[in-house]
Amino acid sequence: MSDSTRRSIQQLDELTIDQIAAGEVVERPAQVVKELVENSIDSGCGKIRIEIVNGGFSRISVIDDGNGIPKNELKLAIKRHATSKISSSEDLRTIVTKGFRGEALASIAAVSKMTLSSKVKGLDGFSITVDNGSIENIELIGIPPGTKVDVFNLFEKIPARLSFQRRPSTENAAIVDIAISLALSEPKVGIIVEIDDRVVLDCPPCDSMEDRLYDLFGSTSSKLIPLESSENDKDAPGKENWNGWVSPPGISRSRSDDIHVMVNGRPVSPGPFLQSIRRGYHTRLMVGRHPVGVFSLNLPTEEVDVNVHPTKREVRLQHSWRVLERLERSIKYTLSKISTQPEFKDLTILEGINIDENSDRDEDDSEDFIPSWAQVSNKEKIQTHFSSIRTSVNRVPSANNDPDLNNSEQQTLPGLDSNPISQSLSSEERKLHRFSLTGKSVSPVDEPLSEAAIIPDLPKMNVLSQFSDSYILAEGDGELFILDQHALHERIRYERLRSSMVNWAPQELINPVDISLGARELSAARSNSERLLDLGIRFTESKGKIFVESVPDVLIGDSGLVDFIHDLLIDISSQPESRGIDTVEKLRDKVAFMKSCRGSVKANQELNLAEMRRLLLDMRTVPNPWACVHGRPTILKLSQNHLDKHFGRHG
C-alpha cells in the first residue's frame, strides 16, 4: 500500500463507539428485553411487566417494582460500564447477579429513543431521555416506586441494522422464550408479557418451583420427574450439583425448545449440554425426539466464568467434562426407575407399568365413570401443545353416517383409539430391521443365564399365551400385561451385548489402510497415539497420511473404518478431555444394535411356554426393560378395573 492511500489511525467519537458496542449487546428486540428484565430482577423486584408493540421495533416497555434509582444516579446509569453490581475485577469471580457489565442501558440508548423513569420509595420520581445517544434533561415524573424503561423506534436511525432484523412475529416468539427462561430461573418474581395489547404470558409470583412449572408447561408439568443422583454420585469429586425436572420417555417433542438450562440461577443456551442430555436418554426416546426438561446447575462461583459472551448466553465451566458426565449419570439414574409409557397414552386405555402405583389411573372415582358405549357422542377436546399460549384442536369424528353398523367390521375395542401409540419407524430403523431379517433368531432358553441382580419393582407376571405370534399375554395382580416379544428380547440382548461384546485387542491387517488426514486430525493422531493403541489402532505416518496397521476385531472388514477413525480424531481434537469416548460409544452402540436386533426373536414367530417364561425372567435382570432400543414400549397393561368399568360391573 502506498503512502498516498494510507489512512491514519484516529480515536473514534463516543457515539460511534456506543453504536459499535451496541451491535454486540443489542442484536435484536428480544435481547433488549432480556437485558432490561435482568436489570429488574437484580433490583430486587417482585413483579415485572413487559409490553411489546410491533415485535419491539416500535416500543418495548419493562416496568418493575424494585428498589429504583435515585435522581443523582440517573445520568450515571446510562453511561457505559457504570454498574452497582461489581466494583473491581476481583468481583468477576463471584458474580451472583444476572447483569454485571453496566453496558445494557448505554447500548440500548445508542440505537433507540430510550426513556428511563425511576422512583425510590419515599422520594420523588424522575426520568431521563436519551435519543440515539443524545442525552436530554432530567424531569420530575409521577410513578409508583420502581423503574420503568421505554424503548421507542429501535434501530430506526440505523437502516443497515434494521434491514437485517426478522419479522415482528418472530421477535414476539423470541421475547416469550426469553421471558419463560427468566421466569424459570426466578419463580418468586411475577412476570407478565403483553404483546400488542394482548397478554400472552402471566406468571404470578410463587413459592414453589412446581407452581411455576405449571404456569409454563400446563398439565404436562404434573408428569415431569424430579432429577435425582445416585448415592455414588453424591460422593464423587466436585462440588457441582444438578437438580431439576425431566420428562418420562412417553413425553417428547420434535425439537429441543423445551429444554432449559440454568447455571447458578442464570439461564444459558442449552446447546453445550444437549449431548449429555441425549446420552442420558439414550435408547429411551425414539429417533428424532427430544425430552422436556428444566436443569439447574449449582456450583462454586469461582468454577464458572460468565464473562465469555457479549450477551451472556454462554458460560465457561472450569470442570466441564466432569459436570457434563454428572448430568448424564443423573438423567440415567432418574429414568432407570421410570417405565416407558405410550407416546399418546391419553388416547388409549393401555398403560405402561408404573412403579409408583399411587399415580395409577385406576383410582378414579368409579361412580363418576361412564362406559364408552353409554356416553353421548361429543367432540373430544385434546390438548396438543403446552406453552404460554395454550391451544387445542377438535377431533372430528369419522364422517360415516351408515345407519347399518352391523355391516362393518369393528376395528377397535370401544374406548381404544385407532391411531398407533408409537411413531412409525424412521428410515434408519427400517434399515436396521431389514438387516435383522437375514439373521437367525436365538431362542431365549438357549442364551446364558444372567448374573445380574433381579429388579424387584417389576410386578409378578404369569404367562397366559401368545397372541398373533408377536405378543406375549401375561397376568398378575389383577392386570393383563401385553409384551412385544421382539422389542423385549431386543432390549435384553442389547443390554448384555453392549457391555461385553466389543473386544479392543488389536488385530493385524494384511494390507495397511492409508488415510489422508487434515492438519487438525494429524495433530490429534500424533499426540494421542497411546489412546489409539488402547483402542486397538496402531499406525505409522508418512507425508500427511497415516497407515493403519491394526484395528480392533469389531472393525475388521467394516466399510466404516475410515469414517470411524476420522470421527474419533475429530472427537479427540475438539474435546481432548473426552479421549474419544463419544465416538467409541457410538461404535459400541452400533454393534450392539445390529447384533441384538439380528439375533432376537421376531414378530410372527411362535414361541413355546418355556421361551416366553424365560423372556419374562430375563426382563427382570436388565437395568432398562421398559423400552426397546428405539425407545418404544416393551410392555403395556390393561387393568381389570378398566374392564369392570367398561362392562358396567361397578354398578
CATH code reported for the domain at 224-335? 3.30.230.10
- List own/partner pairs for 377-385 with CB under 8 A and 24 or more apart: 382/346, 382/347, 383/218, 383/219
Average pLDDT over residues 134-154: 94
Q: Domain 14-89+99-203: which topology?
A: Heat Shock Protein 90 (3.30.565)
Average pLDDT over residues 350-364: 49
17 contacts: CB under 8 Å, gap ≥ 6: none
Mean pLDDT over the full length of the chain: 78
The pLDDT score that the predictor gives to residue 357 is: 43
* Residue that wins the pLDDT comparison between 603 and 424: 603
> Taking 60 as the threshold, does the pLDDT of residue 402 lie above it?
no
Give how far the C-alpha of residue 40 lies from the chain's centroid of Cα atoms, to the nearest Å.
Answer: 28
> Taking 90 as the threshold, does the pLDDT of residue 396 lie above it?
no
The pLDDT score that the predictor gives to residue 4 is: 58
> Taking 60 as the threshold, does the pLDDT of residue 549 lie above it?
yes
The pLDDT score that the predictor gives to residue 263 is: 93
pLDDT tens digits for range 223-267: 899 999 888 887 788 889 999 999 988 788 878 888 999 999 999
> Taking 90 as the threshold, does the pLDDT of residue 51 lie above it?
yes
> Taking 90 as the threshold, does the pLDDT of residue 138 lie above it?
yes
Of 84-98, 349-363, 405-419, least confident by mean pLDDT is 405-419
pLDDT band at 407, cuts 50/70/90? Answer: very low
pTM: 0.65
Q: Which residue carries 445508542 as its cell? A: 110
pLDDT band at 520, cuts 50/70/90? Answer: confident
Average pLDDT over residues 564-592: 71
The pLDDT score that the predictor gives to residue 413 is: 39
> Taking 70 as the threshold, does the pLDDT of residue 646 lie above it?
yes
The DSSP secondary-structure symbol of 411 reads -
> φ and ψ at 385, to 5 degrees?
-150, 135
- What residue ranges do the domains of the chain occupy? 14-89+99-203, 224-335, 502-597
Rounded to whole angstroms, how far apart are CA atoms 111 and 156? 8
Average pLDDT over residues 266-292: 87
pLDDT tens digits for range 99-125: 777 788 988 998 899 999 999 999 999
> Taking 50 as the threshold, does the pLDDT of residue 649 lie above it?
yes
106 contacts: CB under 8 Å, gap ≥ 6: 18, 21, 78, 79, 80, 82
The pLDDT score that the predictor gives to residue 127 is: 95
Range among 78-87, 398-407, 443-452 rated most confident: 78-87
Q: Please report how the helices 561-574 and 581-599 are oriented relative to each other, as an axis angle in degrees rounded to 10.
A: 140
> Taking 50 as the threshold, does the pLDDT of residue 625 lie above it?
yes
Return the percentage of the chain with pLDDT > 90, whole number.
29
> Taking 90 as the threshold, does the pLDDT of residue 601 lie above it?
no
> Taking 70 as the threshold, does the pLDDT of residue 358 lie above it?
no
The pLDDT score that the predictor gives to residue 404 is: 41
Of 19-23, 486-490, 614-618, least confident by mean pLDDT is 19-23
The pLDDT score that the predictor gives to residue 561 is: 78
The pLDDT score that the predictor gives to residue 418 is: 42
The Cα diameter of the chain in Å comes to 101
The pLDDT score that the predictor gives to residue 490 is: 86
Average pLDDT over residues 598-605: 82
The pLDDT score that the predictor gives to residue 141 is: 93
Pairing of strands 471-476, 462-467: antiparallel
CATH code reported for the domain at 502-597? 3.30.1370.100
